[in-house]
Every structure is written in C-alpha cells, then in structure tokens.
Amino acid sequence: MRRVSSGLVLILFMVLSASAQESCETAAYLESEIKNNFLSSGQVEWLEKFVAEKKGDKSLSRGGDKTIITIPVVFHVLYHTSAQNIPDAQIHSQITVLNESFRRLAADTVNTPERFRELAADCFIEFKLATSDTRRRYTSGIVRKYTPISIWDADDKMKFSSEMGADAWDSKQYLNIWVCPLRRTLGYASFPGGDPLKDGIVLNSTTVGVTGKSSFGEGKVAVHEAGHWLGLRHIWGDDYCGDDGVDDTPKQAGFTNGCPTGVRLSCGSGAAGDMYMNYMDLTNDACINLFTFGQSERMRALFEPGGPREGIHTSIGLQPPLIHEIPIAEEPPRWLRPNLFPNPATTEITIDLAYDPRWIGNVMYLTNVQGVRVMMLNITSTIFTIDISQLKPGIYLLTSHRKDGERWQEKIIKM
C-alpha cells in the first residue's frame, strides 16, 4: 500500500478528528499532541520508518517468532462516586478480553468471514496485571484513588497527581491504563514515542471489561486502544481511502458505524471488500474479531532492539515482589463535601474542605437570611476555623464558588 508523507499524516489526523470523535478520540488526541509538540511530526515519521525497516523481518512475519510478549499492566482507577470505583472482576474481565483478542482465542473469531480468515493472526501478545510496582513492592496491578474531579476531558490531566489524577508508572516497563469518567469519550490512547508521562490508555469507567451495557460493552474498546498503543492506525488510514501502513488490510473509505454484514466495497478494496470487522475499525464490539498478520508484525516490531516498547522485555512489573507488605488501600475522605462543626455553634466554627484541596485560593461568603453579606474570607487551607462570636443568633449561609463552576452552600446556625 502507498506510503504517505508526514505532512499528509498531520492533515489527515485533523480531518478525522471531527468525524469520529464520538467513538474514538485517538486521532483527535494525536492531532492535539502534534499541535502541542508532545509528539512531533518527526516522531511520527521516525515510527513509520522504524516499522518499515522491520517490515519483512522474517522473525516478525507470519510463521516467524512465536515467543509470547507479556505486557505488565497497571490500572489507575480514579473515582468520584462509588459506582466509578469499578470492581476487580470488571478489570479481570478486561484482561481476559485483551488476551483472547490478541491471541485469537475469543469465541467470536468464528465470525471472521471466510474471505479474511486466512489473514487473521494470533499476535502472541498477552497482558497481565503487574505483580511488582516500580520499587518492587507487592501490587495487585490495580490502584484506586478518590478524586474530587467528577468528570474528565480527554486532555491527559488524569495522568498527573498534581491535577487530582494519578501519575504514570514507568511507561517503558508498564502499560498504564487510567479508568475515569470521561466526557463524550469511550477511551483514547497514546501512540508510541510520545511524552513518557502521558504514555498509556485512558478508558471511560463505563467501558472497562464486559458489561454488556452498550454497543461497546464487550471490552473491545481497550483492545482497539491497545492496538493504538502498539502503533496501529485505524483501518481506513485516518483519511478517505487512506493508508494504515499495513499491507494486508484493504483500503477503506472511512470508519464503520454499527454492525454491517456482507461484502462492502470501497476504494477498490477488491472482491473481499472492506475489513470492517477489524479491531481497528469503530464497528460495534459484537462485530469486530480480528487483527491481521500485517498488524501483528507492525505491533511486534516495536519490541525489537531500539523500538519504543523494547523496555517491556526487561520490565520488573511481572517479577515477584521483593517487599511483601500489602499497601493500605487509599480511603476516600470521610466527607465528600464541606464539613462544618460544631453546628449549631456559639463562638467559632471549623470548616473542613479536605475532600477537595482546589478550594484553596478561593473566597467564601457568609450571608444572613436577609441576603446581606456579613463576612468574606479567603480560603488559605483545607481546614480552618472562623470566629462567629460577634454574629447575632440566627441562620446563616456559607457559600463559595470556583471559576470551573463548582459551588457549595452550607447552612450555619449561630446560637
């Protein structure tokens, strides 16, 4: 298939971002990365060149190396409500779907049409929850963290503790998967070669593992995103009849919605038609069931010497831990809203805002029942005491709001 220049790559990612945003923001994400210089066009070009050099390497191709590559995975579960703190079982089912898909062991592989079955590959890539953290302490591979953020944008903030998210574990050694409630996005991934602090996959809390709750409820979003994380492009090459850099995937006009059947021809894709059942299309979970040998070769190339995923081979992530202490699970703060005590009060009242340190630096007002402001205070710490001894007995409202729209209001009774 034809190769595209890096300049064209830039443009086609921009073209795509408007159309496929609902289902997959990866291209939009890559576009924004290029725009923000996190992944320069030079890096995209480097990746394509590296993959092209490895292409045709006998050990990588069909019938070549059958060594299983096992990727240590850490899930960072960021939750604001208990429903977002998804159970271990859901994460385990996600790992199972990843392994069945990359090893071509899923029951639905029988749905791969006869005309493409010859191309369908066991990629010999597996995923396993980490057993050692970066300091070789015991881990279950699942890290849970309460956050005051109730919804996230696809802007990587969840990848930083300083933004109320969770920092990546060394991305040379682990696949980081962040799970959080995402606005209008099922998930997105970073391509190899970008900022190591942002390297990994982000999944919407509702899209992890097998839930059966939507068209994307069978855990295949993570399979698609893992494909991106391993350097795969969308099947339509992110352009009208574009190039995905893989030889055995037919050209395709664009992405697929829903769950088509039969032969669909586009771009002179040949008698077999489009491969809309490929994991790198946007077809419903129930209707995608293969990676090709060409895609497998492209992914496995990244683990070769000098490749961006080479570090996985020497990762400590799946080694037995040296420190066996079970880490104490991080508890959510007791109060998920301002806590005022004592209330009613006579002389002073303590305000605890520890559930959300972002209140520091904002202003708080105390208003009487007539709506008159009787006090204005700068919030300089998460826990502080205010003197109310001079106030007349009665009911007051304490309020504060932030630039991001977050606000709270609490009633105080002065005795």
Q: Shortest gap between Cβ of 19 and Zn ion (angstroms)?
A: 12
Give the list of residues 6+ apart from residue 367 with CB closer than 8 angstroms, or none: 373, 374, 396, 397, 398, 399
Scanning 25-33, 73-81, 105-113, 294-302 for contacts with Zn ion by CB under 5 A, the matching segment is 25-33
Q: Shortest gap between Cβ of 228 and Zn ion (angstroms)?
A: 5
The answer to whether 116 and 263 have CB atoms below 8 angstroms apart is no
Scanning 18-26, 151-159, 271-279, 344-352 for contacts with Zn ion by CB under 5 A, the matching segment is 18-26
Q: Which two structure tokens, joined as six digits, stand for 222?
A: 């993570």
- Alpha-carbon gap, residue 222 to 172, rounded angstroms: 19
Residue with tokens 């002389």: 347
> Is 207 a residue that touches Zn ion (CB under 5 A)?
no
Nearer Cβ to Zn ion, position 17 or 26?
Answer: 26
Q: Shortest gap between Cβ of 115 and Zn ion (angstroms)?
A: 24
Q: Shortest gap between Cβ of 224 and Zn ion (angstroms)?
A: 5
Nearer Cβ to Zn ion, position 228 or 414?
Answer: 228
> Is 24 a residue that touches Zn ion (CB under 5 A)?
yes
Catalytic residue among 225, 297, 325, 348: 225
Residue 244 CB neighbour total at 10 angstroms: 23
217: left (phi over 0), alpha (psi -120 to 50) or beta: alpha
Q: Shortest gap between Cβ of 280 and Zn ion (angstroms)?
A: 7
Nearer Cβ to Zn ion, position 24 or 97?
Answer: 24
Q: Shortest gap between Cβ of 307 and Zn ion (angstroms)?
A: 21
Q: Which two structure tokens, joined as six digits, stand for 60?
A: 């990588």
The answer to whether 205 and 179 have CB atoms below 8 angstroms apart is yes
Scanning 20-28, 192-200, 257-265, 351-359 for contacts with Zn ion by CB under 5 A, the matching segment is 20-28
At residue 49, φ and ψ (nearest 5 deg) are -65, -45
The answer to whether 252 and 275 have CB atoms below 8 angstroms apart is yes
Nearer Cβ to Zn ion, position 223 or 391?
Answer: 223
- Alpha-carbon gap, residue 308 to 245, rounded angstroms: 17
Q: Shortest gap between Cβ of 167 and Zn ion (angstroms)?
A: 25
Nearer Cβ to Zn ion, position 152 or 236?
Answer: 236
DSSP for 141-207, please give it: SEEEEE-S-SSB-SSSGGG-GGGTS-PPP-TTT-EEEEEE-BSS-SEEEPPTTS-GGG-SEEEEGGG
Strand partners, 128: 72
Scanning 21-29, 81-89, 237-245, 334-342 for contacts with Zn ion by CB under 5 A, the matching segment is 21-29
The answer to whether 87 and 155 have CB atoms below 8 angstroms apart is no
Nearest Cα neighbor of 173 from 316, 320, 322 is 316
How does DSSP classify residue 285? G
- Alpha-carbon gap, residue 152 to 394, rounded angstroms: 40
Nearest Cα neighbor of 38 from 199, 207, 216, 265 is 199
- Alpha-carbon gap, residue 62 to 65, rounded angstroms: 8
Q: Shortest gap between Cβ of 219 and Zn ion (angstroms)?
A: 15
Question: Would you call 225 a catalytic residue per the annotation?
Answer: yes
> Is 26 a residue that touches Zn ion (CB under 5 A)?
yes
Scanning 6-14, 26-34, 144-152, 325-333 for contacts with Zn ion by CB under 5 A, the matching segment is 26-34
Strand partners, 2: none
Nearer Cβ to Zn ion, position 77 or 154?
Answer: 154
Nearest Cα neighbor of 229 from 30, 42, 69 is 30
> Is 230 a residue that touches Zn ion (CB under 5 A)?
no
- Alpha-carbon gap, residue 261 to 276, rounded angstroms: 9
Nearer Cβ to Zn ion, position 24 or 130?
Answer: 24
Nearer Cβ to Zn ion, position 24 or 129?
Answer: 24
Q: Interface with Zn ion by CB under 5 A: which residues?
A: 24, 26
Active-site positions read 225
